[in-house]
Amino acid sequence: MSDYTPLEKLLHRMVLGVPAIAETAFAADQALARPDAAAARNGRHVFVAGLARAGTTILTRRIHASGAFASLTYRDMPFVLAPNLWQRLGGGSDRALDTQERAHGDGLIVGIDSPESLEEPFWRVFDGPAYIGHDRLHPHMPDAALCAKYAGFVGAILKAAGGTRYLAKNNNNILRLAMLAETFPEAEILVPFRAPGAHAGSLLSQHRRFVERHAADRFSRAYMGWLVHHEFGADHRPFAAPAPATADPMARDYWLAQWCAVYGGLIDTAPRTARFVCYEDLCGDPGTWAGLAAALNIPAEGGEAFRTPPAPPALPETAREAGAQALYARLRDRARAAPV
């Protein structure tokens, strides 16, 4: 987003920031593509959803490297709701974007064809008030008509890419996992998780980074809002009920509490078919990725290596730390017990 020209920023504001334009573009794309929503419902798609900084991006990129999946990429921006129309207009065909490290500063290099979390504007445009609160994101239970419309959206993305399997990384999907399991019964739902201490520290680091960035760049804050990316930064809105008013997002304990709330809820409510994926096991045990690749029916070879995150500094153990470690052990046991 830092390389956008003033004209490109204006286009993003119009297409993503004005719901009427987004709805019109979606309707035009559906008429143009005439997607087979019924076929899309039965595809062997993959949905990756977890708390930010759980390894969702690198896992998605490793799956995408198989060549078996269609995904939204930066080439589809800002017409993410109308990929066929944008393609027909040549909007993304001649675009070039030098590869660069993404804004998170975590060493991941992105380019114009990198798969990214870009589908959430669909839910914001068509049902935003149902789950986007002023201080939190609520569990989301879209009705049957909207689920059918979403299947049409998936079908349109497949049509644009000429594929049959859809791959989506969308952390907000943890709000609606039951819908995904019901709407796409043949799909795999992957829920990555990471050791709580390292995970909380990474979230705190990103929150500080993006608070500073948003203070200096109003467009970047608006951009993250259009994508409903409120997981950290100046417009942070947690998935779980907000912590007490005394809680400080600039403190690690706040993020540890969020980790416990999110994964404590997911382990008890995620559909039984959801597959929890331990990031430390992906990094430390080649058999973990080989087994997951086999379950997804893709080759295990190729793609970026999973990188072991640095160990967090040792801190005094608190009751919350102990509870988080116990929950992590439960998650890891469930992940390791998943059938191949």
Residue 69 contacts residue 184 (beta carbons within 8 Å)? no
Number of Cβ within a 10 Å radius of residue 86: 22
Q: With pLDDT > 90 as the criterion, what percentage of the chain qualifies?
A: 80
Q: Angle, nearest 10°, between helix axes 196-216 and 218-226?
A: 130
Residue 52 contacts residue 231 (beta carbons within 8 Å)? yes
295-323: average pLDDT = 83
Q: What is the pLDDT of residues 283-305, one digit of tens each?
A: 999 999 999 999 999 999 988 88
Please, what is the Cα angle at 336 between 333 and 339, to 5 degrees? Answer: 125
Nearest by Cα to 131 from 173, 190, 183: 173
Residue 47 contacts residue 173 (beta carbons within 8 Å)? yes
151-156: average pLDDT = 98
pLDDT, position 113: 83
For 28, 49, 112, 232, 308, the CA distances from 211, given in Å and listed in that order, are 37, 23, 26, 8, 26
Kindly tell me if the per-residue pLDDT of 96 is higher than 60.
Answer: no
188-209: average pLDDT = 95
Residue 335 contacts residue 277 (beta carbons within 8 Å)? yes
Of the listed ranges 20-34, 115-129, 315-329, the least confidently predicted one is: 315-329
pLDDT, position 164: 95
How confident is residue 184, by pLDDT bands cut at 50, 70 and 90?
Answer: very high
